Amino acid sequence: MPRRSYDQFCAIARALDVLGERWTLLIVRELLGGPRRYSDLLADLPGISTDVLAARLREMEGDELITRRPIGTRGTASAYELTGAGTALTGVVEALAGWGSDRLEARGATDAVRGHWFALPLALRFGELAGGRDGVVEVRLEEGVFHLGLAPVTYADGAAARPDAVVATDHGTAADVASGRATLPEAVRAGRATVTGDTPLAGALSGRAVAV
Amino acid sequence: MPRRSYDQFCAIARALDVLGERWTLLIVRELLGGPRRYSDLLADLPGISTDVLAARLREMEGDELITRRPIGTRGTASAYELTGAGTALTGVVEALAGWGSDRLEARGATDAVRGHWFALPLALRFGELAGGRDGVVEVRLEEGVFHLGLAPVTYADGAAARPDAVVATDHGTAADVASGRATLPEAVRAGRATVTGDTPLAGALSGRAVAV
DNA sequence: CGGCATCCGTGACGATACTG
DNA sequence: CAGTATCGTCACGGATGCCG
């Protein structure tokens, strides 16, 4: 039985037929950082219920956004991973992150937070500071470490092999930078973040002049 | 009473709190071409019910995506128009259009069509042909005329004051070009589209060499 | 005619409990 | 750990009615 569709011969409506249901794009947000297991997704999507997560994963598999891969030696454990079409959604999620950053001003009392939720917004800000040049930035927060590619924007869990710059901060400062309340150089000057590295990119991120 | 929120301190979740409900982004799609009246929206959003349209418009006004402006001499007629924050959604809708174009292959039996639904996908394709240069392209379909700015992508109803190129075709060909099944130069050679103008942009769109 | 409000049937969603 | 089963609630879609 086909799911509910807008029944419009329109690229935007077609995209929303697949992506428009609740939670789908947030699952994509999680998987953009790399493969995740069911319980990982459940933990980083606070508010989703178990049946809805299972249903979305099945639908997204049918829509060829994700694949499930058996993991571990024995047992039922699986990892969910974006396909090529799923990874191609980076631009969509990036656009949403850019637009939504302006509405990130206040943290509500009931709002959950995860460190890697700031990956894409930070990548956009870092890309501005870098003036469009590419580079790999490793970001270290209390909750974990991830690394970003700036042009084009990519994002993956864990430390980078050879980062051009390493940014260490807390998620409060990350939120301030992501939302535009502060710039990264301002945060560095205020002692709320550190930027390590001797590359031009590290200089641009920290606001220091660095010899090329 | 606040609407349903994801309650996540995340730019993407914040964006989806505002944009994620059914029909909202399709209303944005309509309004990106300029102000529209309630009955215009009802006509170009086949499948929406009257109460849902009214509810969305009120929510979007509260979220400062749109404003309503009284129109005409007397009477209750209003025009709905995007605010600055609403217009800033061009990048989001553009990203969705780019991703959804690949899934536009077949027109379903129950699919509705409108000419201006191809505006943003066509603008992306024309932008590729133009090699990133700006320019104004007027598009003439049976259902109406609109014009596109290529870099950055804009879209408005009606004819352009001084278009750099004029493309005339039918919406079937527009769909083929938008989805990538055909390129515009191929459609021109097949006699399914015409490109008028003596500018480099017109040359790039038609596949002809044009003297600068 | 434009701009909704009301009523109603269906289906999606959210919370919890339960199972292999 | 990775889901399925159950159930109450709410959003959506369709039809109709109202009112300036």
pLDDT in tens, B37-78: 999 999 999 999 999 999 999 999 999 999 998 876 566 788
Q: What is the largest CA-CA distance in chain A?
A: 62
pLDDT at A70 over 90: no
What confidence tens digit (pLDDT) does each residue in B84-93 have? Answer: 999 999 999 9
Nearest CA in chain A to B92: A95
Task: Determine the pLDDT at residue A194.
Answer: 97
pLDDT at B113 over 60: yes
Task: Determine the pLDDT at residue A211.
Answer: 52
Contact at CB, B89 and A97, closer than 8 angstroms: no
pTM check: above 0.75:
yes
Task: Determine the pLDDT at residue B194.
Answer: 97
Residues B63 and B57: their CA atoms lie apart, in Å, by 10
Task: Determine the pLDDT at residue A101.
Answer: 96
Candidates A14, A113, A114; nearest CB to B104: A14
Candidates A5, A14, A96; nearest CB to B100: A14
Q: Which position has the token pair 């006509």?
A: B43
pLDDT at B187 over 90: yes
Task: Determine the pLDDT at residue A115.
Answer: 94
Task: Determine the pLDDT at residue B3.
Answer: 75
Task: Determine the pLDDT at residue A143.
Answer: 87
A70: helix, coil or strand? strand
Strand order in B36-37's β-sheet? B36-37, B78-82, B66-70
How far away is chain A from the Cα of B133, in angstroms, using its nearest Cα?
18
Nucleotide nearest to A46 (CA to C1'): C14
Contact at CB, B13 and A26, closer than 8 angstroms: yes
Q: What is the mean pLDDT of chain A?
A: 93
CB neighbours of residue B198 within 10 Å = 11
User: Is residue A106 packed enough to be buried (19+ CB in 10 Å), middle (13-18) or exposed (0-12)?
Assistant: exposed
Residues B176 and A108: their CA atoms lie apart, in Å, by 46
Nucleotide nearest to B52 (CA to C1'): D12
Nucleotide nearest to A37 (CA to C1'): D2
What confidence tens digit (pLDDT) does each residue in A96-131 have? Answer: 999 999 999 889 999 999 999 999 999 999 999 999
pLDDT at B211 over 70: no
Percent of chain B with pLDDT over 70: 95
The DSSP annotation for chain B comes to -PPP---B--HHHHHHHHH-STTHHHHHHHHTTS-EEHHHHHHHSTT--HHHHHHHHHHHHHTTSEEEEE-SSSSS-EEEEE-HHHHTTHHHHHHHHHHHHTT--S--TT-B--GGGGHHHHHHHHHHHTTT---EEEEEETTEEEEEEETTEEEEES--SS-SEEEEE-HHHHHHHHHTSS-HHHHHHTTSEEEE-SSHHHHHHHT-----
Residues B21 and A60: their CA atoms lie apart, in Å, by 19
Contact at CB, B98 and A91, closer than 8 angstroms: yes
Nearest CA in chain B to A13: B26
Strands B136-141 and B165-169: parallel
The residues close to strand D, meaning Cβ under 7 A, are A 4, 37-40, 49-51, 54, 57, 76-78; B 3-4, 21-23, 47-52, 55, 76
